[in-house]
Structure formats: structure tokens, C-alpha cells
Amino acid sequence: MVEYITSAHQVSIVRACGIAQLSKSVYYYSSCKDDSAVIGKLSSLAEKYPRRGCDKFYDMIRAESIIWNYKRVRRVYCLMNLNIRRKMKKRLPARMKEPLLVPASINKSWSMDFMSDALSNGRKIRVFNVMDDYNREALAIEASSSIPSVSVINILKDVMDWRGKPEQIRVDNGPEFTSGNFTDWCKEENIKLQYIQPGKPMQNGFIERFNRTYREEVLDAYIFEDLSQVRDLSQDWMEDYNKLRPHESLKGNSPERFKSLA
């Protein structure tokens, strides 16, 4: 703007800075700083070494006998947003497709999954569901604003106290299920983790069907003010689901009645 005023109206830089309400020191500082060479050098280094930081780049620049002040390199580095942590792709191991078979008895295979919803004020919540594949019994429905892997382990411990330990658990590739805390705990408990293939939710069809019913009859049926309402309604619904609700796959029996008839 200052340069335009000086050229178009033939006034001094001091006058132009006063019109633009810009400090003279700021004008002279910005006009004398040509960082194109620094930008080009940092761009080439960042492209070739994406995981190295400003200090490494500065040492490499000085090793080439380029005399640039560290503060200048750091300033340009930050202006280019190179200090933002780059997300690296997490590569999952190959998952084998396993048939979705009905177990012969309880605690042979469980299924787990997460669901997302929101309260009336827009606050997002997560719901963690656990079921037994044998009789489709809901073992846990836990709602919270955040459910990390440590919480998943604690929920499973509570269920195992009264239900017993499963031989395997079928899960997707979510971060809570692939974390070191969770996988190490399953190894200690001698529980096999059966991961489905990425992008194939129907390989976990039992819990997906359960999620659909739960969403239709609870999450989509009510407007929740707080988490306590979600938990209370979910608990009441789970008792009705396990004791009274007939299932076509269970020959018209509820999960608990089917278990008693086995």
C-alpha cells in the first residue's frame, strides 16, 4: 500500500506511511527482508527430509557455508507452517476374512463396537456396545464423552466378573482396539482378537445389527439433555432387550430365554 501511494501520488515514504497508518520501522523491515532464498531452501529440505525439524535444517544449511541467522531460519520455518506435526499413515497388518459363525455356547465369541451421537446442546458422545454372539445378549452399553482403550479394558473387566471370560472378541480396526494397552491386556488374559477387514463392517454383522436396533429405539427416539439420561434409558432398554424382546434368529426367543433353553 505504501509503495502504491508513493508511486501514484508522488509523496514521500514518511507521508505514505502516515496515510497507511503503518510504522516506518515496519515498512523498512518488511521491504528489506527478501526471504525467497530461505523459503526455497527450506522447501527443498522439507520435501526431502519430512521428519526433520528446524534445528537439523539449520545445521545442514550452515554445513553448506550459507550464512543465515538462526532466528531468520526459524522465523521463515514457522511462517511456512513446517513446525506443524505431520500425521503419518498408520499401516494396519493384513486382515484375513473369517466367516461369521454362530458359536456353540456362551462366551465363545463376543462382538464389540462404538457408536456416535450428540446431546441436545451439540456435545458429541460415544457409546460402546458389547454382546455375546451366541444368544445376541447385550453385555454392556456404556455412554461417555470419551472412551479410550483403558476404559474399554475396565468395562470388559466388569463384564467378565459376572459373565466369565470370552475365548475371542470380534472387533474392527479402531484405535481403541489396536492400541498397545488393549492388545497387551488381551494377550495376558489369553483372549483372541478377531479383527475384521477394513471397510467391511458386515464381517462384524452381529453387533452391527444390534447397533441398528439400539439406534432406532434409543438414540434416534429421544433427545438427550445429558449423559445420565442416555445411560438410564440405555440400561432400561438393555434389560428389556435381553429379557423380553423376541429375536427371529433365536426362533422368537429373547436372549435370556434362548440361553436357558440351550
CATH number of domain containing 238:
3.30.420.10
Q: Is residue 68 part of a domain?
A: yes
Q: Is residue 67 part of a domain?
A: yes
Spans of the chain, pLDDT less than 50: 31
79: which residues sit within 8 A by CB, 6+ positions away?
none
Residue 227's H or E segment, with its range, is helix 227-243
- Answer yes or no: do 126 and 15 share one domain: no
- Answer yes or no: do 172 and 250 share one domain: yes
- Answer yes or no: do 39 and 154 share one domain: no
Cα(178)–Cα(184) distance, integer angstroms: 10
Domain that holds residue 57: 2-79
Cβ 130 vs Cβ 72: under 8 Å: no
- Answer yes or no: do 75 and 125 share one domain: no
- Answer yes or no: do 120 and 237 share one domain: yes
- Answer yes or no: do 196 and 120 share one domain: yes
- Answer yes or no: do 133 and 65 share one domain: no
pTM, two decimals, is: 0.67
- Answer yes or no: do 160 and 242 share one domain: yes
- Answer yes or no: do 9 and 115 share one domain: no
Dihedral sign, CA of 251, 101, 109, 105? positive
- Answer yes or no: do 43 and 113 share one domain: no
Determine the pLDDT at residue 3: 84
Strand pairing partners for 207? Answer: none
**pLDDT tens-digit profile of 192-226?**
999 999 888 899 999 999 999 999 999 999 999 99
Q: Is residue 101 part of a domain?
A: no
Q: Is residue 50 part of a domain?
A: yes
**How many domains, in total, are found in the chain?**
2
Q: Which of 109, 237, 48 is nearest to 56 (CA)?
A: 48
- Answer yes or no: do 236 and 115 share one domain: yes
Determine the pLDDT at residue 87: 63
